[in-house]
Amino acid sequence: MCAMKREEAEALIQEVLEVYPEKARKDRAKHLAVSDPNVEQAKKCIVSNRKSVPGVMTIRGCAYAGSKGVVWGPIKDMVHISHGPVGCGQYSRAGRRNYYTGHTGINAFGTMNFTSDFQEKDIVFGGDKKLEKLIDEIQTLFPLHKGISIQSECPVGLIGDDIESVSKKKAKEMDKPVVPLRCEGFRGVSQSLGHHIANDAIRDWVLPNRDDDSSFESTPYDIALTGDYNIGGDAWASRILLEEMGLRVVAQWSGDGTISELELAPKAKVNLLHCYRSMNYLARHMEEKYGVPWMEYNFFGPTKIAESLRKIAALFDEKIQEGAERVIAKYTPQMNAIIEKYRPRLEGKKVMLYVGGLRPRHVVGAYEDLGMEVVGAGYEFAHNDDYDRTIKDLGEGTLLYDDVTGYELEEFVKRVRPDLVGSGIKEKYIFQKMGIPFRQMHSWDYSGPYHGYDGFAIFARDMDMTLNNPCWDKLQAPWKKAEAAAKAA
DSSP-derived pairing of the beta strands 399-402 and 32-34: antiparallel
Cβ contact 355:422 at 8 Å? yes
Give the nearer residue to ligand SF4 in terms of CB position, either 64 or 438.
64
Q: Please indicate whether residue 62 is annotated as part of the active site.
A: yes
Closest C-alpha among 120, 200, 130 to residue 161: 130
Distances, alpha carbon 30 to alpha carbons 11, 13, 331, 403, in Å = 15, 11, 44, 11
Kindly tell me which of 84 and 452 has the beta carbon lying closer to ligand SF4.
84
State the minimum distance, in angstroms, from the CB of residue 157 to ligand SF4: 9
**Residues 2, 42, 63, 65: which is the catalytic one?**
65
Residue 363, C-beta contacts closer than 8 angstroms, at least 6 positions apart: 300, 301, 353, 374, 422, 441, 450
**CB closer to ligand SF4 out of 36 and 200:** 200
CB of residue 118 vs ligand SF4: minimum separation in angstroms?
A: 10
Question: In the complex, which residues of this chain contact ligand SF4 (CB under 6 A)?
Answer: 62, 64, 88, 153-154, 185
Kindly write down the DSSP assignment for every residue of 17-52, as one continuous string.
HTTS-HHHHHHHHTTEEE--TT-S-GGGT---S-PP
* H or E segment to which residue 416 belongs: helix 406-416
Nearer to ligand SF4, 54 or 143 (CB): 54
Which amino acid is present at 27? D
**Closer residue to ligand SF4 in complex, CB, 62/370:** 62
- Please, what is the minimum distance in Å from the beta carbon of residue 73 to ligand SF4? 13
Cα separation of 277 and 273, whole Å? 10
**Catalytic annotation on 96?**
yes
Q: Which residue is nearest to ligand SF4 (CB)?
A: 185
The active-site residue, picked from 62, 183, 265, 313, is 62
Cα R_g (the chain), whole angstroms:
23
Residue 33 CB neighbours (<10 A): 24
Positions marked active-site = 62, 65, 96, 195
